[in-house]
Structure 1
Amino acid sequence: GPYTSRPYDEVMAEARSLAAHGVKELIVVAQDTTRYGEDLTGKLLLPQLLRDLNELEGIKWIRVMYLYPNNFTDDLIAAFAECDKVCKYIDIPLQHASDRLLESMNRYDTRAQVEELLAKLRERIPGITIRTTFIVGFPGETDEDFAELMDFVEKQRFENAGVFQYSQEEGTVAGAMENQIEPEVKENRYHELMALQAGISEEIHQEREDEELDVIVEGFDEENPALAVGRSYHEAPDIDGNIFIENAAELEVGQMVRVRILQGFTYEMVAELV
């Protein structure tokens, strides 16, 4: 069915209630979050929503997930840059880099348009982290298409990226397409792209060594209770890695603390309290 936005006042009322109950991080998410409000007023309301949420007392972070590139307006970029509580974390599902495959997926953007947007985001939002997702093995994906995707990922150096193998589903347009990719080819491409991204993520985490970050404490290591587990604005819950804080037995879940990164690994970092 069509996109349906929750009423603006209802969203704000829930956010106020969460803030009143001590919630520190709000996550704004939809099927395509950039389109919020389009069906309510004919306008894209996400920039205004972020500015209003940014005024709420008690909230420390506002994280926005699932932002498609074609409605990523200059006003939305400005909201990310201006609002101090909005995490400089962009979750933008790109799916591929081959124009031919993007068209086959019914995506509205070309590789050149995406590259232009990514450059603008990095220029206008200091300290930005970009997460994305890709699909390998979509029907008709050639070796050349996959090589183009690998080249794109290598050049863009995303902080976080997820990779999925295309799954043929009965009753879908793509499921009925010719040139379905063999399972072993999909598997090989998945591992190759994941290995490339793992190396990039590790390099970025190592570059953060000695950097100071605010981290929200989410729990403690089962084997070592003095080792707290948390996240900075660079990591979304459940999908990105964690930061392990040494000598942190006195901390409490939900507490926000300042740490210094000691070591960076592929998916995790180790830190000490400042």
Structure 2
Amino acid sequence: MTEYSAFKVELTDHIAHVQINRPDKANAMNAAFWSEIVDIFQWIDDTDAVRAVIISGAGKHFSAGIDLALLASVASELGNDVGRNARQLRRTIVRMQASFNAVDQCRKPVLAAIHGYCIGGAIDLVSACDMRYCSSDAQFAIKEVDMGMAADVGTLQRLPRIISDGLLRELAYTGRWVDAAEAQRIGLVNQVYAEPHALLDAVLAIAHQIAGKSPLAVTGTKAMLSYMRDHRIDDGLDYVATWNAAMLQSEDLRIAMAAHLSKKTPTFAD
């Protein structure tokens, strides 16, 4: 498996564990982070043995967001021409957006296991995941407003589908902190666990449940849910009818039905 400088990646029992691995920098997102995450999720998408993904952070925090050294580097490359600066900045922003689009568009379910700080760019990342879980020490904040900018890598586009509009506006306008209990109450996370080890064990158990299902059924379910974010109900019904016209012919359906009738655990091919 490829070695990465900003991540540690492991594949065990059909579950890919993608760990942000810069604990000495609170897992701040440096230049390598943004390019490596695209490669990692391309590998995940292409590898049939992967059926579910967990994203976590090494050390005391999930991630403190974008590395300030990276922002300084981007600023140092700007010149005196406003038009050329704008073009260069836009290219950088779009390239960074593509990094989290790779997470969002991954065909496999992605589960975020969050502890400690989840700030700024880290909110963009977990917003791109299918589900979010945290430990009781987790703290969340949309901090871009305190840096004099609007969040531009996905938070303001994806969070409206996760938490209420009014509350999102409050958090985005004020940059205030949200603790684990509030995060669960507002629907930002599915569940809170006492400490990071319990969190990871629980998320791993959920990932194992998903990995035990038909990979075609899980992929199809994610595709339909993602499609419905931007389409009408009748469009979605038409799409799933076309999708299942093919997928209902899969051997997985016969295996699942036979296992149900015999009260045995099914085993599906990758």
For normalisation by structure 2, the TM-score amounts to: 0.35
Question: Of the two structures, which has the highest relative contact order with CA contacts closer than 8 Å and spacing of 6 or more?
Answer: 2
More strand by share: 1
TM-score (norm 1): 0.34
